[in-house]
């Protein structure tokens, strides 16, 4: 479903295109005042737990995740991402991806990676064609965060599927009503595609998104002007794209980097030689092998 086009007003890079912590506790068992210790004379760990209880909880959490990894056929247990940054990184448009008057008009930044030293990547999934219940179970079981970018012409077949996704903590974002090649459209038609999808998501899921991804990754100045007028704050693209049987890379080194945004699509046997769980296995096996955790994109914005 990807289409390559020339974005009006931007320089095309010569790159390969690719489609917890709680507040410190003050009491332990039997303690009554600030700084009191537990029965064993040790200061309680965060959340009011003793260090032993905290260690036991971490061990239990890991065991549960390891069991889930075995059930879903992963080679290794997924790594746990760090806590979200207390100070969010400054998000700016990637060099070469600007449009005319981008900064002057304060248009949404277009970026392929998030500036961070955390060894994390972000999984984003586009459109909504495949609605696989096993995928929902797998992601919940493994507790892998991801961000969805939806197009109404596909989502409207089953709004309830994506409500289940939202109920599991996934943020549902804008990928236009009909997935057109936006630079071919007038400003008013682009605004209809983007604002119209804002309306659909608000109606069915209760909140207007702040993230928008242009179909095929193609946009022009009118696209970003329209997106801003519809309440969009960010326009994330991607650094890598994962399929059921291979990866595509934007950068010359064909490798992952801290903060990279990874794209995939809601697809199944109709388009792939496999299922969405098959794709997630490929994704997680490489990410974990390279020492990366999967974090939630919205936590860094």
Does residue 117 have a pLDDT over 80? yes
Q: Region 279-297: what's the mean pLDDT?
A: 98
Beta-sheet pairing, 247-249 with 293-295: unpaired
Q: Could you tell me which residues come within 8 angstroms of residue 50 by beta carbon, excluding any fewer than 6 positions away?
A: 28, 29, 38, 40, 42, 44
Query: How far is 262 from 260, CA to CA, in rounded Å?
Result: 6
Residue of higher predicted confidence among 58 and 170: 170
Residue of higher predicted confidence among 149 and 39: 149
How does pLDDT run across 61-108, given as a tens digit for each residue?
899 999 999 999 999 999 999 999 999 999 999 999 999 999 999 999
Query: How far is 223 from 132, CA to CA, in rounded Å?
Result: 31
Tokens of 300: 């860094």
Q: Tokens 């200061």 identify what position?
A: 43
pLDDT in the model for residue 293: 98
Residue 239 CA, distance from chain mean position: 13
How does pLDDT run across 131-184, given as a tens digit for each residue?
999 999 999 999 999 999 999 999 999 999 999 999 999 999 999 999 999 999
């Amino acid at each position: 479903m990807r289409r390559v086009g020339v974005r009006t007003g931007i320089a095309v890079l010569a790159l390969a295109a690719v489609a917890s912590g709680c507040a410190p506790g003050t009491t332990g068992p039997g303690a009554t005042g600030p700084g009191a210790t537990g029965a064993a004379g040790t200061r309680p760990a965060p959340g009011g737990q003793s260090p032993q209880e905290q260690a036991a909880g971490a061990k239990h959490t890991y065991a549960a995740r390891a069991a889930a990894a075995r059930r879903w056929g992963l080679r290794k247990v997924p790594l746990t991402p760090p806590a979200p940054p207390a100070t969010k990184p400054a998000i700016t448009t990637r060099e070469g991806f600007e449009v005319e008057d981008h900064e002057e008009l304060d248009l949404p930044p277009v970026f392929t990676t998030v500036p961070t030293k955390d060894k994390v990547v972000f999984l984003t999934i586009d459109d909504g064609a495949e609605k696989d219940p096993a995928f929902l179970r797998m992601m919940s079981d493994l507790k892998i965060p991801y961000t969805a970018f939806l197009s109404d012409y596909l989502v409207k077949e089953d709004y309830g599927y994506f409500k289940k996704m939202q109920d599991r903590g996934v943020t549902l974002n804008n990928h236009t009503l009909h997935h057109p090649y936006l630079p071919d459209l007038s400003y008013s038609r682009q605004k209809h595609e983007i604002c119209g999808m804002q309306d659909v998501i608000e109606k069915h899921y209760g909140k207007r998104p702040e993230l928008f991804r242009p179909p095929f990754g193609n946009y022009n100045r009118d696209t970003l002007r329209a997106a801003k007028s519809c309440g969009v704050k960010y326009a994330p693209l991607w650094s890598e794209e994962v399929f059921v049987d291979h990866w595509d890379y934007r950068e010359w080194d064909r490798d992952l980097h801290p903060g990279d945004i990874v794209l995939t699509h809601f697809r199944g046997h109709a388009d792939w030689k496999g299922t969405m769980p098959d794709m997630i296995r490929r994704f997680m096996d490489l990410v974990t092998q390279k020492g990366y955790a999967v974090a939630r994109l919205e936590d860094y914005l």
